[in-house]
Amino acid sequence: MRHRIPLCALALAAVAAAGCTDSDPGDRGTAPRPSSPTTSPADLCAHVVDTWARQIYDSGDRGYGDYQSMGLSNGQYQILRDILDAARIERRRETDAAGRKLIDRQARERCADRYRDGGPSGGPWV
């Protein structure tokens, strides 16, 4: 499986971005409290989609792979595919750098739009 190392790195980044817990030693018997705010679903989506889009875009790979092995929902995978299509068009019209800027911008915008109302309600893989 060629995506194993990048997938593990993304999973580790997602856990780190979600924040660690810290309990007060004088606060026995209570649940740990977050030491930092958690990452919003829109920000996490943008980070994961942007990371995969850049990897695929920079490798010149025309294939996308399996969305589940990438740790993406079906909706996030569709965002990834749409962004890559647009970035490749931008690369042909302008430059590689213009395509990368488009990836960054559209990952933020499209994920913010997807999670504007809190996210999809059809389960975690929608």
pLDDT tier at 25, thresholds 50, 70, 90:
very low
Mean pLDDT across 80-105: 95
Write the pLDDT tens digit of every residue in 47-91. Answer: 999 999 999 999 987 677 788 888 899 999 999 999 999 999 999
pLDDT tier at 92, thresholds 50, 70, 90:
very high
Q: What are phi and psi of 22, to 5 degrees?
A: -145, 130
Q: What are phi and psi of 103, to 5 degrees?
A: -60, -50
Give the largest Cα separation in the chain, rounded. 62
pTM, two decimals, is 0.66
| Bridge partners of residue 22, in order along the sequence | 33
DSSP code at position 109: H
Cβ–Cβ under 8 Å, residues 53 and 87? yes
- Beta strands 33-34 and 21-22, pairing class: antiparallel
The string of DSSP letters for 18-83 reads H--EE--TT-TTS--EESSPPPPHHHHHHHHHHHHHHHHHHHT------TTTTT--HHHHHHHHHH
Instruction: Please name the residue that has the structure tokens 């909706």.
Output: 75
| Model confidence at 23: pLDDT above 50 | no
